């Protein structure tokens, strides 16, 4: 993989981790009250949307090639968003 594309993928994963943190916080606040069935359905749809959005972004950046360090960058971005 070309170095430039790899750097774009890493930066995308990092900022996507921060984005996921804020969306999870918003999802938690919206689902704090409500019926259990609605919580399960909305949480499932939320996870599917987040996953598909990430893989679509990787598809546009580097033809959908996934490496373990992309997931590590998502985790680091999530931790940075948590600070």
Q: What is the pLDDT of residues 27-55, one digit of tens each?
A: 888 777 778 888 888 889 999 999 999 99
Q: What angle is formed at CA 9 by the lines to CA 25 and CA 6, rounded to 5 degrees?
A: 155
The pLDDT value given to residue 55: 94
Percent of the chain with pLDDT over 70: 100
Distance CA(29)–CA(17), nearest Å, equals: 19
Q: Are 11 and 72 in contact (CB under 8 A)?
A: no
Residue 51 three-state SS: helix
The pLDDT score that the predictor gives to residue 27 is 86
- With beta carbons less than 8 A apart as the criterion, state whether 32 and 5 touch: no
pLDDT of 22 strictly over 90 = yes
Predicted confidence at residue 64, as pLDDT, reads 85
At residue 22, the 3 state secondary structure works out as helix
Q: Which residues contact 36 (CB under 8 A, 6 or more apart)?
A: none
Residue-level pLDDT at 44:
92
Rounded to whole angstroms, how far apart are CA atoms 23 and 41? 16
Does this model's pTM top 0.95? My answer is no
């Amino acid at each position: 993989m070309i170095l430039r594309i790899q750097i774009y993928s890493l930066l995308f994963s990092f900022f996507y981790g921060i984005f996921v943190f804020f969306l999870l916080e918003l999802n938690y606040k919206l689902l704090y009250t409500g019926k259990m069935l609605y919580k399960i359905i909305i949480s499932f749809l939320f996870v599917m949307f987040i996953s598909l959005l990430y893989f679509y972004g990787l598809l546009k950046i580097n033809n959908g090639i996934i490496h373990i360090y992309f997931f590590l960058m998502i985790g680091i971005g999530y931790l940075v968003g948590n600070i």
